[in-house]
Amino acid sequence: MKAELIKHESGRNTYALKGEIVNSADFAFLDACIEEKLSVHLDLSGITYINSSGFGGLVEEAMNFTEARLELILSGLAPGIRKTLAVLGAEELLHFKD
Amino acid sequence: MSAKPQKRRHRRAEFLRRVRLYLESDVTLHGITHDVSTHSVAVFVNLKNASALYGAVAAGRAPLSAIKGKLLGQTALLEIAEEGLDPINFTIQRVEPSWKKGFHLFIGGRFVNADEFLVKKLEQVCPALLPGPRQREVYVSEGLPDFLEDLRRLRAEEFVCEFSNGYHNVRDHRDLVTALAAHHEFPEEEIYGIKLLADEALMNAFLYGSIEPGRDRTQLRALLAPGRIYLAVRDYAGIEFDDFPYHFRKERADQRGGLSLLEELSDDWQVQTVPGEYTEVCFFKAVASPSSP
């Protein structure tokens, strides 16, 4: 997975993610945002695949952001992927903007 | 097309004891074991009362996964409460964070010196332990025999291959299974689920099936007919699948991990282990297709 910072505004970073999310460690770059008290918007329109490990990593990060009183917002996830991940509770555990 | 099989499962015998785990870093963890065999152990520890080493985790300032790397490969001492056994040396080979509940950790490992004396003592502790390899059916699908018979009747195409462990092989074979499913009339909206299921079975073999050089092979067997797939992935490490006791399974039911995924997306699934020899994860799924009889 590749993450590119595409927008930095007051209190919020926006990243465009590309490729496959198959490892919870893919989100290590978000730890720095939490430390800097930045909310994050992840544009997932370039994501082609997410497995259970990647999904677990997303949920873990969402919890970390919530605990830090910050926001982790997702958008652009392909409907087919989003529909399948819904059986794992994606709609309840993650914050989708669209 | 046959009706969706009803899921009924057997649970294997439980062996619940309180344990203490002494790590190299002078940290003591408290928890339970539900699974001791003559060569391996699985424990479930609570990090809430752990020492300062895990302070950041306990305070919610760091993800549990951050300590996974620290624990893997460590030699730890296991003390089983109320059994009069000397602490047992074992090497930690599997660590699974409980990423939703936050403070529990699953740890699996092999005994460093599983000699005759230790085996004898363990058999006294848990009379259900049998010497030598034995097959343990962690989850048994009662619908599987009928499904396989259905595939035989339909003259299903069989695909078998064996390959060395490695992430690129997980990805390549996941995509191969996905292509096979598409070729066998699985509708577009089901293909992503098949891909996830194959990934789950293959990743399990990749992560836990390569403990010794020369035994890092994975076997994939697929049976396919129009709108039907059976997939079995076998590794040759034989590390037992974690089967949580009922109250822990209940607690973990909302964690949405890989097992939940198999449960939700397949018609049914099954895990079989011969400790030290192999572990096989299989699933099957049928959907309505244009050429279904």
CATH class of A2-96: alpha beta
The CATH code of the domain that includes B270 is 3.30.565.10
Residues B263 and B154 both lie in one domain: yes
CA distances to A22, A52, A53, B264 from A49, in Å: 8, 10, 11, 18
Residue B5 located in a structural domain: no
The CATH code of the domain that includes B118 is 2.40.10.220
Q: Which range marks the domain in which residue B41 is found?
A: 17-125
Count of structural domains, chain B: 2
Rounded distance between C-alpha atoms, residue A80 and residue A76, angstroms:
12
Mutation to test the B interface, candidates A88, A91, A93, A94, most B Cβ within 10 Å: A88
Radius of gyration of chain B (CA): 20
Which residue, of B125, B152, B186, is where some domain finishes? B125
Token pair of B3 as six digits: 């009706």
CB contact under 8 A, B100 and A59: yes
Rounded distance between C-alpha atoms, residue B38 and residue B36, angstroms:
7
Which residue, of B92, B125, B158, is where some domain finishes? B125
Residue B131 located in a structural domain: no
Q: Does B257 touch chain A (CB under 8 A)?
A: yes
End-to-end alpha-carbon separation of chain A, Å?
A: 22
DSSP string, B143-205: THHHHHHHHHHTT-EEEEEEEE--HHHHHHHHHHHHHHHHHTT--HHHHHHHHHHHHHHHHHH
Residue B138 located in a structural domain: no
User: ipTM of this predicted complex?
Assistant: 0.84
Residues B109 and B205 both lie in one domain: no
Rounded distance between C-alpha atoms, residue B179 and residue B193, angstroms:
13
Residues B150 and B282 both lie in one domain: yes
CA distances to B3, B46, B88, B215, B279 from B110, in Å: 42, 20, 10, 16, 15
Mutation to test the B interface, candidates A52, A63, A69, A81, most B Cβ within 10 Å: A52
- What tens-digit pLDDT sequence spans chain B (293 residues)? 444 444 544 333 345 677 888 888 777 888 777 667 777 777 877 766 555 445 555 555 555 556 777 787 888 998 886 666 778 888 888 777 554 344 567 788 888 877 777 777 777 766 555 444 445 556 677 788 889 999 999 999 999 999 887 778 889 999 999 999 999 999 988 999 999 999 989 988 887 776 554 557 899 999 999 999 999 999 887 776 654 333 233 333 334 456 677 888 899 888 887 766 788 899 999 987 555 44
The model carries a pTM of 0.64
Residues B97 and B158 both lie in one domain: no
Closest partner residue to A52 (CB to CB) among B65, B100, B200 is B200
- Cα torsion for A79, A81, A84, A90, to the nearest 10°? -90
Q: Does B264 touch chain A (CB under 8 A)?
A: yes
By residue count, chain A amounts to 98
Residues B66 and B180 both lie in one domain: no
